[in-house]
Amino acid sequence: MITKEIWKKVSPVLLKKYKRSATFLDYRTSWELTVAVILSAQTTDVGVNKITPALFKKFPSPKAFANAKPEEIAKYIKTLGYYRSKAVYLKKSAQILIKEFDGVVPDDPLLIQKLSGVGRKSAVAIISNAYNKNIGIPVDTHVIRFVKRFGLSKKKDPSKIERELLKIIPKKDWKRAGYAIKEYGRKEGRARGYKKEEDPLYLALNK
């Protein structure tokens, strides 16, 4: 079965059952979302949401982050993985944002990757949510497990997996498909204890 046929079989169930169509991260501005996305690497979104209210109260703007010492930022994010590196990323990103983009987060996927700690996956997550632009699918561990489970890609590199997904998923569905897959991953996509006979997508594929 070719990948487009697989997607056509599982997508109606996926998009109906898992209705998440936006990031799990809490934010009010494009900059706050950028900060939250940088912090979310190797950390749960729940963990990020717990610390960002105090972080944004202390550092309410890109200028505040740019003027802070990394160790000052680190105090507010120390419950997260790699918090020292992330504190440096936040300060550098704020400095770049002010110097090169007049303090405004770019809505271009190449330009936004000039920010420290922002790669392709982060760029897609930020722009698709902050600017409601359908530019791709953020490929994280949930998405990788999903494509392997249903044979949608044999690639290992996230950027190559994304390119293959964008070929088989209609553009209008890119954003909601990405988050539906992530929600599926949280609920059904576990590696341990997975039972095919209890997976609604597996059942849809094998009718």
Q: Mean pLDDT throughout 159-186?
A: 93
Residue type, 205: L
The pLDDT value recorded for residue 186 is 82
CA-to-CA dists, residue 110 to 60, 64, 67, 119, 151, angstroms: 26, 25, 26, 9, 29
1 pLDDT higher than 70: no
Question: Which distant-in-sequence residues (6+ apart) come within 8 Å of 76 by Cβ?
Answer: 51, 54, 55, 58, 59
What is the model's pLDDT at position 187? Answer: 82
What pTM, to 2 d.p., does this model score? 0.90
Catalytic residue among 91, 140, 175, 199: 140
Fold topology of 30-130: Endonuclease III; domain 1 (1.10.340)
The yes-or-no verdict on residue 198 having pLDDT over 70 is yes
Residues 95-126: tens digit of each pLDDT: 999 999 999 999 999 999 999 999 999 999 99
- Average of pLDDT values for 151-165? 93
Active site residue 107: no
Q: Where are the domains of the chain?
A: 3-22+136-205, 30-130
Which tokens go with 6?
């697989």
Query: According to the model, what pLDDT value does residue 197 have?
Result: 87
Q: Scanning the structure block, which residue is given the tokens 């070929």?
A: 167
Query: pLDDT class for 192, splitting at 50, 70, 90?
Result: confident
- Could you tell me the pLDDT band of residue 207, with boundaries at 50, 70 and 90? confident
Tell me if residue 140 is catalytic. yes
Q: What is the pLDDT of residue 191?
A: 67
For the domain covering 3-22+136-205, report its CATH number. 1.10.1670.10
The CB-side HSE value for 186 (13 A sphere, CA atoms) comes to 12
Catalytic residue among 86, 121, 175, 182: 121
